[in-house]
Structure 1
Amino acid sequence: MLDTDTNRTAVDPVTLTVIEKGLQQVCSEMDLVHEKTSFSPVISEAFDRSNGIYGREDGRIIAQGALGLPIFLGVMQETTRSVIAERDDLEDGDVVLINDPYLGGTHLMDVKMVRPFYYRGRLWCYLANTGHWPDTGGMVPGGFNSTATEIHQEGLRIPPVKLVRNGQMDPELVKLVLANIRVSEERIGDIKAQIAALATGARRLTALLDRYGQDVVEAAIAELETRSETMMRAHLETIPDGIYTASAFMDSDGVVNEPLEVNVAITVSGSDIGFDFSRSSPPCAGPMNSVWATTLSSVYVGLKHIFPDVPMNAGCFRPIEVAQPKGTFIYAEYPRPVAGCAAEVSQRIMEAVFLALANAIPDKLFAAPAGTSGNLSLGGYDPERGENYIMYYFSGGGYGGWWAGDGLTNGCSTIGISKSQPVEILEQRYPILFEHYALREGSGGAGTYRGGFGVDYRLRLLRGQGKASFLMEHGRTGPPGILGGEAGAPNRIEVGHGGEVISPAHFSKGEGFVLREGDWIEVHTPGGGGYGPATDRAPEAVERDRERGYGCSESDR
């Protein structure tokens, strides 16, 4: 029936809930197809991907799968908007390929596909996904080039081009892409997996519309956006009005060995919140610049961490205003290199947001988490298999203590729900052996509630030769505590090379480490910061840590 006050179809609460879950299920099935059919372990095992539904007029997010990386919430929205602006010639059955960071992207390895979805001859929405390809060319295997000084050194940059026309993949474009990346036989599997995920979404969304009708589904989407906005505003009203400031620091940009500052001023007024990053460091020489889409999405994900119950759609973004920080390293413009923006800079942006709001709403905040994805790339030739390989690996770290407990140990990065790939899978596919993998005991910052622990691992190259690169963070200083809590242990990297042990000059970043049989890499990931003074920690909690061997070791600090 029609709501006479709004001239919009009214949707009863039961149908509204069913449609909400149905839209999420469409995206989650896309995620599963993407995961199960990908060739790369970073997608199939670590879930570094996302799928969603986006508005036909403005690319706004309608739904995203529960299994998708949160950092892609705002990013894929901006990507879809760029495709809408750049391509007015898309037809039913087309799929656009894009990874251009300056057109709503992240780094070059996050490759997006966007498909216009037609229902009964009418453009109804866009389906889009992102998959992290382990390589897109560039100076180093894996793409995490810590010394790049322009985007062209980082890999193949793809504008929005038609990969699929009328349901048929363009073989010439595929040849062009595969000719410019390493281990191309693996990438074609990832390409087909993304296309298959979009096809699944189209089928499932068609079935949903067939069942409930376009008018009812569109009305439900509008109502869900309104409710999400209302819930976000209710949460924001619990923050006292005022201006809250904080800074978080990157170790370096990989080229100039000096910290970079993310400075935020947050203005809260009733149910509106604004973010000003204009006092952050200027654009940097190295690859730790962040494009606008990533910076914006980092703010969205940061607030989602604080208010996790708000359903994610375009409505929850309406009370949030983020001023474009032009002239800073978190508003990268061509040709600035950006390899670290999604995996590392985004987490420092969120850290600044958490620190700024900690004193305003301490009962909803937590000390800083590890704040790094621990990006490690290893590429080379395996003589036993007679083939080249590229391994991309990321690891967990400690989460910060919070108002009701200690931080999570070996948690995923702040930007996602991805997990570390099983070492057994990696040992099967690549010429390596993980010699140990353990908790980094004592790495959590002391506090009333201590930070969670990072991890220690060592991998050894068993045969052949490989080139390793690192792009991590929190190596100069550990994740800070709040309200009197102490910082967690900083990141530490060691490379056993030719009988000597060396560490990157930039603490957490480096490349060009050529490994030979028997050489090894050891990584100690950060622990989370502590919450509140350590002197207020409950005696029974201290005793429990002692019994479990969780004591603080000076060698870890």
Structure 2
Amino acid sequence: MKKSLSISDPIALAIFQSGIHSIAEEMGAALRRTAISPNIKERRDYSCAIFDAQRRVIAMGDHMPVHLGSMPMSVKIAAESLPLQPGDMAMLNDPYAGGTHLPDITLVLPVFIEKHSSPFFYVAARAHHADVGGMFAGSMGPAREIYQEGIRIPPVRIMRGGEIDREMLSLILHNVRTPEEREGDLAAQIGACRLGERRLREIVEKYGLDDVSALAEALLSYSDRLMRAELQKLTAGTFHAEDFLDDDGVSDEPLRIAVAITIAPEAGSLTIDFSGSSPQAAGSINAVYAITWSACFYVLRCLLAEDAPATAGLMNSITVLAPEGTIVNARPPAAVAGGNVETSQRIVDVLLRALAQAAPQRIPAASAGTMSNLTIGGIDPRTGQTFTYYETTAGGMGARLGLDGISGIHTHMTNSLNTPVEALEYAYPFRVRSYGYRQGSGGDGQYRGGDGLVREIELLTDSQVTLLSDRRKFPPYGLAGGQPGAGSRALLIESGKDPVELPSKCSVHAAKGARIRIETPGGGGWG
């Protein structure tokens, strides 16, 4: 006998919200436990979410903001491009089809209920794969066009009728450096989606499809009301801000991100306009529209209480304008690997800088503002096999009214962990020489910015080393009179030679015994 949940009962809605959120969280836990690569298993560089029949997100795991805000576009395009049948599962990574950058592969599974001919839900799992081919080991280098960044996957079926499409899988695996690891991680994503499908069917079996559909609609409406109510508390007006990326890795010219946020409290609406931002660049720091939308979603979600449901309803009253052909809405064939990790962070910094004018007591100073991406590839002498290592390195959090910033933590668009030293040295031919806080790198102020990190890795084999980072020329800003944090730095240290400072975006070949030292930015001070 099915239980009944009244959509007019706030307790019933809270139960549904918690239940549907727990499914996304359980999907993530299953993906983490069964993945092969340290990047997913240890660093948790993945995200899972649930969507209704109209492809509107109704629940997200507490995973990666840069994944989650953009994932609905991938689900929408996959569902519209492919006539998915029961047992089918879509796969894609194309940044120009709702993706972010090529290493982020998304699987989308339609959930059919009973004998209905169309899906009532979709579940999706996105994970950053440590290599998807291209000219740089790890697929995260300073490329000049997207074709150099790896294999580009439009919406295709990875499963048909409940069976893996071995031909499609073989095509993918023949274009990456670490096929066994990729196959294992894709299998973990498939399992996570299957788990989500099973849990959704259990909820429908328990409460009935009509009640579940009505509650999903009520949850979307509730999110909409929460956001409109929050916007009504803000100061009316148009608030401008700008910040810069150091360069694109090709030329030395800074790239501007400009924003104008117009708040209309009486209407409970907000418009974000990125007009005036730099044209798309020759290097790989271009962001597609899905990334820009994701950064806006993240910042606005941060205005709400932590338990507010993160659904598509949050953006009903929000307009995001990003001119095509700019660094915040690039068009093919622009390279985009760094747009996902670096430009997304700067977009957040600019949005917060503008909002600080409307809500000065609520907005923190700038955090590190770079994911300090490091990829290393080569042949592991222990196995004779190719390896690819990818990791983002944490920095300092910006201070805010009443609190110092936290040191050595991933902030804003990344929500990952570090790879523990033991796991790092076990999985790769590395030796970690030092790892600790970068003392004094946080900005001064009444409340001090958090310190960045110092990490030094010795290479135990000849390797290709690639950096995608930022915040060299333009350090994280302080607010309310606080001082900026220290900028980033990276060194190549070889025996018998003076240390060489590496550009923020580069790829070099380093010999066995060389050390790579990463120094990440501190957060800005407040007051």
TM-score of Structure 1 vs Structure 2, range by shorter chain: over 0.9
Match of 1:252 in 2: 247
Q: Are residues 1:151 and 2:149 paired?
A: no
Matched-pair contact (CA < 8 Å) for 1:11–1:219: no
Match of 1:407 in 2: 405
* Residue type of the alignment partner of 2:61: G
Consecutive unaligned residues in structure 2, runs of 5 or more: none
Match of 1:191 in 2: 186
Q: How far does residue 359 in structure 1 lie from its aligned partner after superposition?
A: 2.2
| Runs of 4+, deviation exceeding 4 Å | none
Q: Are residues 1:526 and 2:521 paired?
A: yes
Match of 1:56 in 2: 53
Distance 1:363 1:232 in 2: 19
Matched-pair contact (CA < 8 Å) for 2:374–2:466: yes
* Residue type of the alignment partner of 2:9: D
Match of 1:19 in 2: 16
Distance 1:304 1:441 in 2: 32
Matched-pair contact (CA < 8 Å) for 1:235–1:307: yes
**What SS does structure 1 have at the residue aligned with 2:282?**
coil
**What SS does structure 1 have at the residue aligned with 2:182?**
helix
Q: Are residues 1:465 and 2:465 paired?
A: no
**What SS does structure 1 have at the residue aligned with 2:97?**
coil
Distance 2:337 2:316 in 1: 29
Matched-pair contact (CA < 8 Å) for 1:99–1:108: yes
Consecutive unaligned residues in structure 1, runs of 5 or more: 1-7, 533-557
Pick from 170, 176, 197 the counterpart of residue 175 of structure 1: 170
**What SS does structure 1 have at the residue aligned with 2:487?**
coil
Distance 1:216 1:502 in 2: 63
Q: Are residues 1:486 and 2:483 paired?
A: yes
Residue by residue over 1:460-508, the C-alpha shift from the partner in whole angstroms, topping out at 9 and shown as x without a partner, is: 012x211100001112221011111111000000011363321224xx2
Residue by residue over 1:161-212, the C-alpha shift from the partner in whole angstroms, topping out at 9 and shown as x without a partner, is: 0110000001111111000001111111001000000000011111011001
Alignment of 1:254-403 (within 5 A): 254-270=249-265, 271-309=268-306, 310-403=308-401
Q: Are residues 1:135 and 2:142 paired?
A: no
Residue by residue over 1:374-400, the C-alpha shift from the partner in whole angstroms, topping out at 9 and shown as x without a partner, is: 110000012222221111111111011
Matched-pair contact (CA < 8 Å) for 2:141–2:505: no
Match of 2:120 in 1: 124
Distance 1:476 1:260 in 2: 11
Alignment of 1:230-245 (within 5 A): 230-245=225-240
Distance 2:357 2:448 in 1: 18
RMSD: 1.3
* Residue type of the alignment partner of 2:138: G
* Residue type of the alignment partner of 2:144: T
Q: How far does residue 420 in structure 1 lie from its aligned partner after superposition?
A: 1.0
Q: How far does residue 11 in structure 1 lie from its aligned partner after superposition?
A: 4.2
Match of 1:446 in 2: 444
Residue by residue over 1:197-242, the C-alpha shift from the partner in whole angstroms, topping out at 9 and shown as x without a partner, is: 0000011111011001111111111111111111111111111100
**What SS does structure 2 have at the residue aligned with 1:500?**
coil
- Cα distance 1:308–1:471, how it changes in 2: closer, same or farther (>3 A)? farther
* Residue type of the alignment partner of 2:86: D
Pick from 500, 503, 506 the counterpart of residue 502 of structure 1: 500
Matched-pair contact (CA < 8 Å) for 1:362–1:403: no
Match of 1:541 in 2: none
Q: How far does residue 254 in structure 1 lie from its aligned partner after superposition?
A: 1.0
TM-score (norm 1): 0.91
Match of 1:550 in 2: none
* Residue type of the alignment partner of 1:119: I
**What SS does structure 2 have at the residue aligned with 1:359?**
helix
TM-score (norm 2): 0.96
Match of 2:221 in 1: 226
Distance 1:503 1:308 in 2: 43
**What SS does structure 1 have at the residue aligned with 2:271?**
strand
Q: Are residues 1:111 and 2:109 paired?
A: no
Matched-pair contact (CA < 8 Å) for 1:306–1:365: no
Distance 1:112 1:497 in 2: 39
Distance 1:531 1:425 in 2: 36
Number of corresponding residues: 517
* Residue type of the alignment partner of 2:277: S
Residue by residue over 1:257-303, the C-alpha shift from the partner in whole angstroms, topping out at 9 and shown as x without a partner, is: 11111100000011111000011001111101100111111111112
Pick from 84, 89, 97 the counterpart of residue 91 of structure 2: 97
Identity of aligned residues (%): 38
